[in-house]
Amino acid sequence: MPDLAIPSLKHPPELDPGFLPASIWTQSFHEKCNSEGDREIRIAVIRPNGTGYLHRETILSSDDETSQTLNFRFIERVIKFLLWSCGGTKVVLENSPALSSALAEHYRKGGKREFDADYSKRFFGQTLVIESRPSEGFPHPSFPSEESTEIGLKGNRIGFDLGGSDRKCAAVIDGEVVFSDEVEWDPYFQSDPSYHRDGIIDSIRRAAEHLPTVDAIGGSAAGVYVDSKARAASLFRGVPDELFADHVENIFFEVAKEWNVPMRVVNDGDVTALAGAMSLNDGCVLGLAMGTSTAAGYADDASSITSWISELAFVPIDFQENAAEDEWSGDFGCAVNYFSQQAVSRLIEPTGLDIDLSLGKPEKLVEVQKAMEAGDDRAAAIYRTLGCYLGYAIPQFARFYDIRNLLLLGRVLTGKGGEIIIEKAEEVLRDEFPELAQKISLNTPDEKLKRHGQAIAAASLPKLG
């Protein structure tokens, strides 16, 4: 791999000194483009229904081997980000037949990015295609404006939030929370879909006991949901493929039969963003929940949830060759290993903390939090490292999302450690990206909203009548 002139980081993560932020690599690549000659390339990401997103990038104009290699590395990572942010089944590159051909070989069954191609098909029902087209007649896809979601709609509502280690529910009457609850569960590797169905029904019933009637049910869950149908989700990763279509895809409609009321289920990250709009009374909110995995979602300038899938757990934020490997996708440097309980777990060993590495990820996080409360600087080093990751990742997110507010949630952000993460991220932004530091505000909700905010916001999703 040809080297770029990468500047030394002003804030290298102390437990991961080889960390190479996508934001810094991209800056260096564009500086090389400016000095050696560049060209603009348009990238269209299109869904089967014709909607989509048009993205513009600058790449090296030369056809020499070094330029081609760097262009491929850069655009491959851009496409990876686009597939997991806006989502689509056709990627069209402008005037780039050799590049598109190489990428098509990468993103195919049996290719290096088979996982991404497979999930693109699962989300939208068609095989991923990557092709080149000339400038004349190049597609200009867009997504339609989304209908706003009102907060605090009238009626007796239930909201639930399904995470990887717990499920939450809330009963809401005319916008006021009258009950909220949290139950531990372990859905990831359960092969029987009835485990998930019974758990969801149990949470809804718990909330229903505190309402005179149930008028609507809204849900938040990790994964991709289209019209409340489960397309793909880590929550159901243990369910065999042959059972998914019949027993998982319509699981929320089956659950709703008992109550016969309007129901809407969306990605938990989108509800995080909606909770942010609720809390901040402002839009352009990127919500980032650091829990069992990394959930993300976006509310636009009008505080509306968008059509983007925003599965940012799988987007690349670390470009070092030996970056942390995602156990599910097999890719390297993806956000899930930097903003989640997985991130905390993998950083324990280099600290020397006396924590049993055979414990589950939630239990290891608890032990790190205990060490943090006891004033152990080795635990603080984990949170400082996470803060560096976040500070350098925000500019990468901002290349694809218009961000005014970054809302941070999840168990990893709980307590003193969460304060360190935010302080360190803000320090990185101020020193490395001062313009963004002026524009983007990092926020956390109060403790009540932090723990139950997604379930409460989810309750507002369905429209009555």
C-alpha distances out from residue 122 to 57, 86, 191, 227, Å? 27, 15, 19, 14
Q: Tell me, what amino acid is at 337?
A: N
The residues facing 129 across adjacent strands are: 90
Residue that wins the pLDDT comparison between 54 and 322: 54
Least confident range of 32-36, 110-114, 265-269: 265-269
Contact, 446 vs 414, CB < 8 A?
A: no
pLDDT at 146: 58
Reported as a pLDDT band with limits 50, 70 and 90, residue 212 is very high
- The continuous run of DSSP H or E covering 101 comes out as helix 97-106
pLDDT, position 179: 93
Record the tokens describing residue 36, joined without a space.
């050696």
pLDDT at position 450 is 58
* pLDDT at res. 184: 93
Residue 60 has pLDDT above 70, yes or no: yes
Confidence of residue 291 (pLDDT cuts 50, 70, 90): confident
Q: Which of 74, 91, 96 is nearest to 22 (CA)?
A: 74
pLDDT band at 448 (very low <50, low <70, confident <90, very high): low
Distance (Å, whole) CA 427 – CA 436: 12
Strand partners, 405: 285, 441
- Taking the C-alpha atoms of residue 28 and residue 41, their distance in angstroms, rounded to an integer, is 18
Q: At CA 217, angle to CA 214 and CA 220, rounded to 5? A: 155
10 Å Cβ neighbour count for 186?
Answer: 14
Token duo for residue 395: 């500019």
* 165 vs 391: CA distance, rounded Å: 27
> In residues, how long is the chain?
465
For 378-420, write each residue's pLDDT tens digit. Answer: 999 999 999 999 999 999 999 999 999 999 988 899 999 999 9
Buried b (16+ CB within 10 A) or exposed e, 376-400: bebbbbbbbbbbbbbbbbbbbbbeb
Compute the mean pLDDT over every residue in the chain, rounded to the nearest whole number. Answer: 91
User: What is the band of 449 on the pLDDT scale with cuts at 50, 70, 90?
Assistant: low
Question: For 181-210, what is each residue's pLDDT tens digit?
Answer: 999 999 988 999 999 999 999 999 999 999
Arithmetic mean of pLDDT, 45-74: 96
What is the reported pLDDT for 452?
60
Of 66-75, 86-95, 317-326, 448-457, the range with the lowest mean pLDDT is: 448-457
240 CB-near residues (< 8 Å, 6+ apart): 191
- pLDDT score recorded for residue 346: 96
Q: What angle do CA 248, 326, 320 make, to 5 degrees?
A: 150
Q: Is the pLDDT of residue 446 over 70?
A: no
pLDDT score of 358: 93
Task: Give the whole-angstrom CA distance, residue 82 versus residue 62.
Answer: 25
Q: Write the DSSP symbol of residue 86.
A: T
Amino acid in position 77: R
Does position 117 have pLDDT exceeding 60, yes or no?
yes
Nearest to 155 by CA among 215, 218, 219: 215
pLDDT tier for residue 145 given thresholds of 50, 70 and 90: low
Closest CA to 274 of 310, 300, 250: 300
* Residue 332, strand partner residues: 325
What are the start-end ranges of the H helices in 192-232? 193-208
In what helix (H) or strand (E) does residue 168 lie, and over which residues does it extend? Answer: strand 166-173
pLDDT at 460 exceeding the cut of 70: yes
Instruction: Kindly list the structural domains of the chain, giving each domain's residue range(s) and its CATH number in brackets, ordered by start.
Output: 37-133 (no CATH), 156-271 (3.30.420.40), 279-455 (3.30.420.40)
Model confidence pLDDT, tens digit, residues 146-165: 554 555 568 999 999 898 88
Q: What is the DSSP letter of 407?
A: E
